[in-house]
Amino acid sequence: MPGRPKPTPQLPLFQEEEEVRSLLNQLFRDSLLYQTSEEFYGLLRFIQRLRGFAPFNAMLLQIQKPGLQYAASRYDWKRRFNREVKDGARPLVILWPFSPVAFVYDVADTEGDPLPVEATDPFRAFGDMQEESIEQFGLLLSRSGIVLLCIDCGAGLAGNVQRNEPEGLEIINRSKDKKEKSSYIVRLNKSHNPNVQFVTLVHELAHLYLGHLGPDKALAIPERWIPDHDTAELEAESVSFLVCTRRGIHSNAEQYLAEFVKHNKTVERLDIYAVLKAAGKIETVLGLAETPQFRPN
């Protein structure tokens, strides 16, 4: 009796991350995608529109069909929009947890009821950020070992992030387990309004999830080369632009990127893969991620 087939060995997390990064970089080189600052900024603007997909999957859709307005799974088109996918429509590929890929379809390949405003107006605002939302983010972050502090400081300091936990500061939504040890702390200026606090929070989390503070297996942050200060800030501002604008919050990240495009022609120093992955992780840890739904098994 033949033995059972051996399971396919799983790559260690960071090794798998590096293989995906390598494949993506090869794709960029072979296709000459995103070689200029304008192309990179255009990619960010495209990802900003597709809030229903993780940033990395939005990039995959942009590669397959530039200019795509809206996409959804066959199940979501029927359940949410009462639209049917046309016969012979070409599916678009996205990555999906616990399976190699999943398929979605462009709105142009469907027919049925008119699209609602959330699909036809991708730049709608989600409303102003509220103080209660910042407190909720603090609770969510504490589950990942990240403590959120609001501190009194001058108006010129928005916030920062660092490893370990200083003592003697008021903690927002700390776990009731006093023995819990936090790995990181993010400080926000208590005097700033919630919109500014949210932008600061995302920017500082970007530095963390981009690996600027070093690798962290618990948070799935791989080791990578630490860029120079200017490049690190460009990466963090790119992440901030994506996460904030996808929630209807606008900041000086937009002006920062516009100035970068104006004065720089290439993005050769920028790690686009790291930017998209960090944005996706931040949306997930803050409970902001939106994902397509597929027919239940």
Which SS3 state, helix, strand or coil, does residue 64 take?
helix
User: Average pLDDT in the 168-176 region?
Assistant: 50
The residue with greater pLDDT, 35 or 147, is: 147
Which 8-state DSSP code applies to residue 65?
Answer: S
Q: Output the CA–CA distances (angstroms, integers) from residue 10 to 13, 58, 97, 217, in the order listed.
A: 9, 26, 14, 16
- Mean pLDDT (the chain, rounded): 79
pLDDT attached to residue 227: 83
Structure confidence by residue, pLDDT tens digits, 46-101: 887 787 888 888 888 888 887 787 889 999 999 989 999 999 999 999 888 777 78
Cβ atoms of 109 and 85 closer than 8 Å = yes
> Both ends of the chain: CA-CA distance in Å?
32
Segments in the chain forming alpha helices (H): 13-31, 37-49, 55-64, 74-81, 117-120, 131-142, 194-209, 229-245, 253-263, 272-285
* 13 contact partners, CB below 8 Å, separation of at least 6: 217, 220, 222
- Per the DSSP assignment, residues forming a β-bridge with 111 are 84
Q: What is the band of 223 on the pLDDT scale with cuts at 50, 70, 90?
A: confident
Cα–Cα dist 122/110, whole Å? 18
Q: Predicted confidence band at 128 (pLDDT cuts at 50, 70, 90)? A: confident
What is the model's pLDDT at position 143? 92
Give the pTM: 0.69
Is residue 205 within 8 Å of residue 285, measured between CB atoms? Answer: yes
**Which carries the bigger pLDDT value, residue 127 or residue 120?**
120
β-partners of residue 163 are 184
Tens of pLDDT, residues 245-290: 888 888 777 777 877 777 776 777 778 889 999 999 999 999 998 7
The domain ranges of the chain are 131-285
